Structure 1
């Protein structure tokens, strides 16, 4: 059987208890190919973010199976989940920057949290990553002095700085203009080609759909459409 960084089988999820209990995900099965950019779309309330958080160790898997980087998440011990989270990058619509830290310091935290990188190389790596997202001239700016789009780009740099094996992104381009959004997605695709980084993205941004390797559509917690071959980016033939 092929090794997938993410493999989901018969996943179900509920919110609430008793009479208020409501099912949010229904019998979802999907494999995510190495190095690919998979985009999940669907109307609000369709379960996209719930699935993303279940895949990303941010919500407990209670029914069905989610295997992430070769580890079963259902019933996994907290030390296992913590170790897996160190291999992941998270990008959310809310940038969640520390207001008292500069752009450089916020991104530095991405290395510190993951425990990766040598001290002597950290500053250079952080500055390079901020330059890649177009903020090389804003290294020492506090979030209060950055625009909404600039804050989001700092958050993206923070998520990518440690070289995660899998990136989970929830509406990462919502606060960005078209060119900046394309730049971010282009970077994620380049990470897939060059490092084998796998990205799963939730979006309502139709401007970036043509850049996806695969588009998965959810409605009312069910997978209703799956467009795109499930193949590793690194295994594709070049013409």
Structure 2
């Protein structure tokens, strides 16, 4: 079953007063539910722009984007609600809030809609921490976590709302080789156990090999 589809996506940026830089040029992409897709490409090829469009953080200049059958590029669509309910984000910078424990950081997306997390949500947070092997740091604060542990907390936070897709932008970019391999293996395990659709941008061929499918962004299109 197709979970998302991009058709004829166009994105340009003004480069100086008169020059326009075309980053994405009539780009198409179709992803099935439960698929793990790695997107590769040279620096400046538009990988982050593409991920931003997939995450509804950026609007394309032209084309359509269907997520679970909803055209998120159409007028009147609540992109904030879509982002919070259907999309999980993992960035290079973990963006953990230092005043909250690991468990509290994981539960932050829940608090966008309610004053406190309920028992079911807290139990699910612990389940995610068990899958990612960080249940022992639940009550530690970000400054006491290793880089690998912080990355895992960020992944759990991205999954707490049971999103339709997980978007990962160079999730191992700031980690050493050992931790990077652990994070990629963990993403593959989450993909298998939770059937979460994952789209990951990476420059690493080794990391990309964990995905079901590798596509390359070049000259504004996927190859």
Aligned partner (choices 6, 9, 24) of residue 7 of structure 2: 9
Residue 46 of structure 1 and its aligned partner are, at CA, apart by 0.5
- In structure 1, distance between residues paired with 2:5 and 2:32: 9
The aligned runs of 1:23-172 (5 Å cut-off) are 23-79=22-78, 81-85=79-83, 86-113=85-112, 119-172=118-171
Q: Count matched residues.
A: 220
Report the CA distance shift for 1:140/1:191 in structure 2 as closer, same or farther (over 3 A): closer
Cα distance in 1 for partners of 2:148, 2:162 equals 22
* Distance of 1:114 and 1:167 partners within structure 2: 20
- Is the contact made by 1:61 and 1:75 (CA closer than 8 Å) also made in structure 2? no
Work out whether residues 165 and 196 of structure 1, in 8 Å CA contact, stay in contact via their aligned partners in 2: no
TM-score (norm 1): 0.82
Q: Aligned pair 1:21/2:20, yes or no? A: yes
Q: Aligned partners of 2:179, 2:68: CA distance in 1, in Å?
A: 30
Counterpart CA distance in 2 for 1:137 and 1:219 is: 43
Task: Give CA deviations for 1:35-56 in whole Å, capped at 9, x if unaligned.
Answer: 1001000111011111111111
RMSD of Structure 2 on Structure 1 (CA): 2.3
Alignment of 1:198 with 2:197, yes or no, is: yes
The 3 A distance-change label for structure 1 pair 88 and 13 is same
Aligned residues of 1:61 and 1:73 also touching (Cα < 8 A)? no
Contact 2:40–2:202, Cα closer than 8 Å, also in 1: yes
- SS at structure 2 position matched to 1:128: helix
Q: 1:124 to 1:177 in 2, by over 3 A?
A: farther
Match of 1:176, SS?
coil
Other structure's SS at 1:57 match: coil
Written as runs of structure 1 = structure 2, the 5 A alignment for 1:193-232 is 193-223=192-222, 225=223
What displacement does 1:172 show? 1.1
What TM-score do you get using the length of structure 2 for normalisation?
A: 0.87
Query: For the residues of structure 2 that align with 1:66 and 1:174, how far apart are their CA atoms?
Result: 28
1:71 Cα deviation after fit: 1.2
Say which SS state the counterpart of residue 2 (structure 2) adopts: coil
The answer on whether the counterparts of 2:111 and 2:117 sit within 8 Å (CA) in structure 1 is: no
What displacement does 1:149 show? 2.6
Q: 1:196 to 1:136 in 2, by over 3 A?
A: closer
Q: Secondary structure at the match of 1:121?
A: helix
Q: Unaligned 5+ residue runs, structure 2?
A: none
Unaligned runs of 5+ in 1: 226-239
